A and B are shown apart, each in its own frame.
Chain A
C-alpha cells in the first residue's frame, strides 16, 4: 500500500489536476445545481462539505490505524511515516468537520455547539489526534515516539465506531443517517441532484486527500533521509 504513495511527480500532477477539476465541479453542483432543501433551505448546502470531510477524516484515521498496526508488527519506518502523514491530514479534516457542523448547527438547531454524543465524541477524536501530533514532537527518542504514537493512533481509531453508533445508542440532537439507511436505497431518500452533488464532492475530497497524502508522505521520507544523512555526517 505504501508503494502506491511513492508516485512520481507526473502522477501526483495528474492527481492534483483531477482533484481540482472534481472540486470545481463539486462547487458548481453543491452551490448552484442542487436544489435547496424543502425544510432547511439553502443552509443544507453545507452538507456537501460536511459529509465528505468527515468521511475523509475517517479514511485518514483508518490509514493511521493500518500504518500503526503494521509499524508495531514489522517496525518499518515507512509504515510510521504513513501513519504520521495520515494523522496530520486527518486532524485538518476533523477540525473542518466540527467547524462546518457548528456553522450548520446555528441556523438549524439554534446553537453553535451542544454537548450532544456525536459532537462530543468527534471533539474527543480531534483531541486524541492533536495529542498524537503533540506526542510526536514532545518525545525526543524517535523509536519511543513512534511506538507511543502508534498505540495512541490505534486507540484513537476505536472512537470512530462509537461516533457512528452514538446516534443509535443515545438520544442525540444529531440525526441518524438519512441517506445510507438499511431499509431504503440512497436514491429513495434524497433528490437525485442532491445525491449527485454529494457523490461528486465526496470524490473530490478523496482525490484531494490522496494528493495531499502523497506529498505529506514524500515529505516524511525526505525528512527521514535528511536525519539519516546528518547522522552519518557527524564525527
Chain B
C-alpha cells in the first residue's frame, strides 16, 4: 500500500466509525424520546380519567 493509502485508510475508518456511532446514538435518543412521550401521555390520560 502507498503512503496515502495508509492515511486514507486511517481517516476513513476513524470518521466512518464516528459517523456510525453518531447515527446509533441518534436512533437510541429518538427511541427514548418517543417512549418517554408515550409514557407521559399515558400517565396524563390515567390521571384525568374519571374514577
Contact = CB atoms under 8 A, between A and B. Distances in A.
A226 B39 contact: yes
Contact of A222 (B1, B18, B32): B32
Contact of B43 (A46, A96, A100, A229): A229
Interface stretch (A103-111, A116-124, A136-144, A164-172): A103-111
A43 B21 contact: no
A43 B3 CA distance: 5
B13 interface: yes
B14 A41 contact: no
Given A208-B18, A219-B32, A104 B10 contact: yes
Nearest to B26: A215
Nearest to A107: B6
A212 interface: yes
A27 B12 CA distance: 12
Interface residues of B, number: 26
A117 B22 CA distance: 32
A54 interface: no
B7 A45 contact: yes
A226 B29 contact: no
Contacts of B13: 96, 99-100, 103
Nearest to A52: B14
A212 B25 contact: yes
B49 interface: no
Interface string B8-51: 01110110011001100110110011011001101100000000
A226 B14 contact: no
A226 B17 contact: no
Given A45-B7, A96-B14, A212-B25, 9 more contacts: A42-B7, A92-B21, A96-B13, A107-B6, A218-B29, A222-B29, A229-B36, A229-B40, A230-B39
Interface of B: 1, 3-4, 6-7, 9-11, 13-14, 17-18, 21-22, 25-26, 28-29, 32-33, 35-36, 39-40, 42-43
Q: Would you list the 7 A-B pairs with minimal beta carbon distance, nearest first?
A: A42-B3, A222-B32, A103-B10, A229-B39, A46-B10, A43-B3, A45-B7
